[in-house]
Structure 1
Amino acid sequence: MGAVMLAVALATLDTAIANTALPAIAADLHAAPAASVWIINAYQLAMVATLLPLAALGDIIGHRRIYISGLAIFTLASLACAVAPTLTTLTAARVLQGLGASAIMSVNTALIRFLFPPHRLGRGLGLNALVVGVSFAIGPTIASLILATANWPWLFAINVPLGAIALAFAMPALPHTAQGKHAFDPVAALLNVITFAALIFALGEAAQRAPGAEVLIAAAIALGFGALLIWREAGHPAPMLPVDLFRLPVFTLSAVTAVCSFAAQGLAFVSLPFYFEDVLGRSQVETGFLMTPWPVVVAAAAPIAGRLSDRYPPGLLGGIGLAILSAGMASLALMPAHPSVTDIAVRMAVCGAGFGFFQSPNLKALMASAPPERSGGASGIIATARLLGQTTGAALVALCFGIAGKHGPTLALSAGAVFAGAASVASGLRLFAPSHRAGVFQK
């Protein structure tokens, strides 16, 4: 579990650190701001395009091999990022780093399923959510501390010794899981890469308010190749895009809950800095502190929710948590014109408590509803749902700004409250869905 948590922390930290350091990197490499965004986009595209193929490969050759290989690639790619002399080479290294992070995130929850007995799975997933929350919270702080004393390459160089330590933990300790008997389909993998890369590209371009033709072409490619992928894998015992798992009502509702809730999170975390600085007139330093209560409370609530999910239905816990998140985001949107720091902090803490209360039970519901031999596919869907939700939320923020101008952040927070409310309803519906898997996978 130490190996799993350390690698997940590295992959999560790297996203937050790179976002914070983007202006410094662009200035040092003499790159235009628009071009430097590819430092972020390359990482995200590589991750989302390869999550499901790597998860499927993990079910075939073993989750341990995928995890250790991904950790090694991530560590070496971090070294390549640290010594990259140009934006082009840094972007290429970030693609490799995203591939390594994808391998880590595609099977991490599958490994946790094999580390904990079923009646304590919620505790394990709660620890995983705790690590993600803490890493997300301290990422900007770590980036600021490093940049205050050193230049940007050290942001990536620090991953090298930490990755080596994680490998030293992982190689003797991670469990060997049963290997699947079906073969890996490279054609399906290629179709999957094109589908999700085009989808994320379309959402990203929409967020940047690119010409409509570019967005529509990318969306059409995503739909077309997605249809080809489903056709290609019709009848496959373990499809790469696990459409068969969506025949399980609990799995489907859990995936919908995840996408909607992470869309709400994306709407909040992209719009709140604009809200604090442009609407409320706070400084950048104050904004950093005001953003902190949400992830800190998520980190505190996640282990508690994980333990509770071993005793109470995830649908109930998730429904309550997401209702709290919806109320918290609505309270942010309805804040008075001149709120105090306490007013803001309490509302942010309420949002964090709601989000943290949903995350671990929802992870458990997704993993427990899938058969053990399909743990990789379920784990891949978890990571994919998170990335799709966050990317959708970011794109909707851009739309809100286009519609409402200076009132865009308030509209985005209101939309986030609606998404969280929809996620709460989807979570509650799981209480009435059949929980058994009998017959679903029989021809």
Structure 2
Amino acid sequence: MEKTLSDGLPLPQRYGAIATIAIGIMMAVLDGAIANVALPTIARDLNASEAASIWIVNAYQIAIVISLLTFSFLGDMFGYRRVYKAGLVCFTATSFLCALSPNLEMLAAARVLQGIGGAALMSVNTALIRLIYPQYQLGRGMGINSFIVAVSAAAGPTVAAAILSVASWHWLFYVNVPSGIIALLLAIRFLPPNPQGVRKQSFDLPSAIMNALTFGLLITALSGFAQQQAGIITLTELVAALLIGFFFVRRQLTLTVPLLPVDLLRIPLFTLSLCTSVCSFCAQMLALVALPFYLQSTIGRSEVETGLLLTPWPLATMVMAPLAGRLIGRFHAGLLGGLGMLLMLTGLFALAFLPGTPTDVDIIWRMALCGAGFGLFQSPNNHTIIVSAPKNRSGGASGMLGTARLLGQSSGAALVALTLNLSATQGTQYALIMAGCFATAACIVSSLRVTQTLPES
């Protein structure tokens, strides 16, 4: 059957468009990772405590969570290209502010603004990919996107260490300025407009406020729990999040085009894919947060050895994600996702029951198995989430994808804190077993999708 080229961008423009997507997402993902490595250095330089310096990371993450769905809605309303360009301007300018910050308070405030810019980039990222690639090559586009995210996540600690070895921590943020300017120039030249034009709908401010409060309080509660915040404060935040969330969802059910796209949850394939995404990212975060504690505290590996032993995971994801993208359309996403999660759960349980004195090879093949499984799962799953939604709701679907990822990651980090508090000696093993259980749930849910078909070929 002849493949139509009526949708997507022609090849010269497509390369420019995917380049601006790659640069923007790479900056947003890297800035979520590189600050972690520099926290002790920044805390010393700004005369802040280590506990207070955590807000350099938390401020960025919370800002993304509370604004992601709002920008997704605005993308459907005003155009994904406009939101993406605004995100580039905001992210680039606030990166400069981060670098100029003379104290922790100003840096945390600048990180909030930077997180808002990052949310604008992440919210319409996959929606733009749907416009950039022809339908029959969309799987390849999703694979490339997953590859870029995996490379950025894997490179975060290395990039941070390289910059800090030759310059001050300020350059962790300065480097975003030329990259952001290049990405903005490419966006102006190459990014496509929404094919149906902007949507005639109104923005519901109360929904945006309730969305920010619901997800902000939820992530703050999970983060506070992970940092052993007073129980009454965590409980209050959690109850407030659930209460506001109840009224938030009830309001969305009354709107024709809701900010939180609960109407998309009526699509079984969309809902199953979202659930699979939350479980998989929770499993991944449980493992990647717990493993450094295990490698250093339990079996006595150094920081450098720990970094090297963790590397096979993202490397395997980098290799597998583009390959999985090419398999989309040939095999059902539920089958690919189920197989990927089967590999991942096998690797996770194998890590949980490592021998008492494991060799490097014992650790490396298990890490690679987990990473390969996640890479095989991620591209088809992201593709299904986007394509199962109507094309004019791609922004909402993209926002839900990002929200699912962040909720899974935040929950996984909090669960690691729980297991370590329950048992200082066996906590990491409990976390890995729990990660295997979440991967098992993701495998089962993904397999349930095999009976579901996409609404468009």
Q: TM-score, normalised by structure 1?
A: 0.97
What does residue 121 of structure 1 align with?
A: 138
Question: Deviation at 1:210?
Answer: 1.7
In structure 1, what residue type is equivalent to 2:248? Answer: L
What does residue 218 of structure 1 align with?
A: 237
Does the Cα contact within 8 Å between 1:121 and 1:310 map onto a contact in 2?
Answer: no
Does the Cα contact within 8 Å between 1:44 and 1:98 map onto a contact in 2?
Answer: yes
Question: Deviation at 1:237?
Answer: 2.3
For the residues of structure 2 that align with 1:137 and 1:436, how far apart are their CA atoms?
35
For the residues of structure 1 that align with 2:394 and 2:36, how far apart are their CA atoms?
31
1:383 aligns with 2:402: yes
For the residues of structure 1 that align with 2:29 and 2:273, how far apart are their CA atoms?
22
> Any unmatched runs of 5+ in structure 2?
1-17
Question: Deviation at 1:432?
Answer: 2.0
What does residue 31 of structure 2 align with?
A: 14
Question: Deviation at 1:223?
Answer: 1.1
1:353-372 aligned within 5 A: 353-372=372-391
- The match for 2:89 among 49, 72, 90 is 72
Instruction: Indicate the RMSD between aligned Cα atoms, in angstroms.
Output: 1.0
Question: Deviation at 1:234?
Answer: 2.2
Question: Deviation at 1:434?
Answer: 5.2
Question: Deviation at 1:168?
Answer: 1.1
For the residues of structure 2 that align with 1:238 and 1:117, how far apart are their CA atoms?
27
What does residue 116 of structure 2 align with?
A: 99
What does residue 252 of structure 2 align with?
A: 233
1:119-268 aligned within 5 A: 119-177=136-194, 178-268=197-287
What does residue 360 of structure 2 align with?
A: 341
What does residue 441 of structure 1 align with?
A: none
What does residue 327 of structure 1 align with?
A: 346
1:138-158 deviation per Cα after TM superposition (whole angstroms, max 9, x unaligned): 110111011111110011101
What does residue 431 of structure 1 align with?
A: 450
Does the Cα contact within 8 Å between 2:387 and 2:454 map onto a contact in 1?
Answer: no
Question: Deviation at 1:214?
Answer: 1.0
1:201-220 deviation per Cα after TM superposition (whole angstroms, max 9, x unaligned): 11111111222211111111
For the residues of structure 2 that align with 1:260 and 1:201, how far apart are their CA atoms?
20
What does residue 61 of structure 1 align with?
A: 78
For the residues of structure 2 that align with 1:432 and 1:286, how far apart are their CA atoms?
44
Question: Deviation at 1:403?
Answer: 1.6
For the residues of structure 1 that align with 2:444 and 2:199, how far apart are their CA atoms?
36
Question: Deviation at 1:181?
Answer: 1.3
Does the Cα contact within 8 Å between 2:252 and 2:262 map onto a contact in 1?
Answer: no
The sequence identity of aligned pairs, in percent, is: 50
Moved over 3 A (4+): 433-437
For the residues of structure 2 that align with 1:234 and 1:255, how far apart are their CA atoms?
19
For the residues of structure 1 that align with 2:150 and 2:248, how far apart are their CA atoms?
34
* Aligned-partner SS, 2:329: coil
Does the Cα contact within 8 Å between 2:88 and 2:117 map onto a contact in 1?
Answer: yes
In structure 2, what residue type is equivalent to 1:333? Answer: A
1:51 aligns with 2:65: no
* Aligned-partner SS, 1:402: helix
What does residue 49 of structure 2 align with?
A: 32
In structure 1, what residue type is equivalent to 2:39? Answer: L
Does the Cα contact within 8 Å between 1:333 and 1:414 map onto a contact in 2?
Answer: yes
Question: Deviation at 1:436?
Answer: 3.7
In structure 2, what residue type is equivalent to 1:143? Answer: A
For the residues of structure 2 that align with 1:322 and 1:234, how far apart are their CA atoms?
33
Question: Deviation at 1:233?
Answer: 2.3
1:23 aligns with 2:45: no
1:397 aligns with 2:413: no
Question: Deviation at 1:191?
Answer: 0.7
What does residue 350 of structure 1 align with?
A: 369
1:4 aligns with 2:29: no
Does the Cα contact within 8 Å between 1:320 and 1:424 map onto a contact in 2?
Answer: yes
In structure 2, what residue type is equivalent to 1:8? Answer: I
> Any unmatched runs of 5+ in structure 1?
438-443
For the residues of structure 2 that align with 1:184 and 1:126, how far apart are their CA atoms?
33
Shift in alpha-carbon separation, 1:67–1:253, aligned structure 2, 3 A: same
Does the Cα contact within 8 Å between 2:338 and 2:443 map onto a contact in 1?
Answer: yes
For the residues of structure 1 that align with 2:287 and 2:356, how far apart are their CA atoms?
18
1:112-164 deviation per Cα after TM superposition (whole angstroms, max 9, x unaligned): 01111222111001000000000111110111011111110011101111111
Does the Cα contact within 8 Å between 2:226 and 2:417 map onto a contact in 1?
Answer: yes
What does residue 108 of structure 1 align with?
A: 125
Does the Cα contact within 8 Å between 2:60 and 2:112 map onto a contact in 1?
Answer: yes
Question: Deviation at 1:12?
Answer: 0.6
Question: How many pairs are equivalent?
Answer: 437
In structure 2, what residue type is equivalent to 1:209? Answer: Q
In structure 2, what residue type is equivalent to 1:120? Answer: Q
Does the Cα contact within 8 Å between 2:253 and 2:262 map onto a contact in 1?
Answer: no
1:87-134 deviation per Cα after TM superposition (whole angstroms, max 9, x unaligned): 000000000100000000000000001111222111001000000000
Q: TM-score, normalised by structure 2?
A: 0.94
In structure 2, what residue type is equivalent to 1:276? Answer: L
Question: Deviation at 1:258?
Answer: 0.3
In structure 2, what residue type is equivalent to 1:88? Answer: E
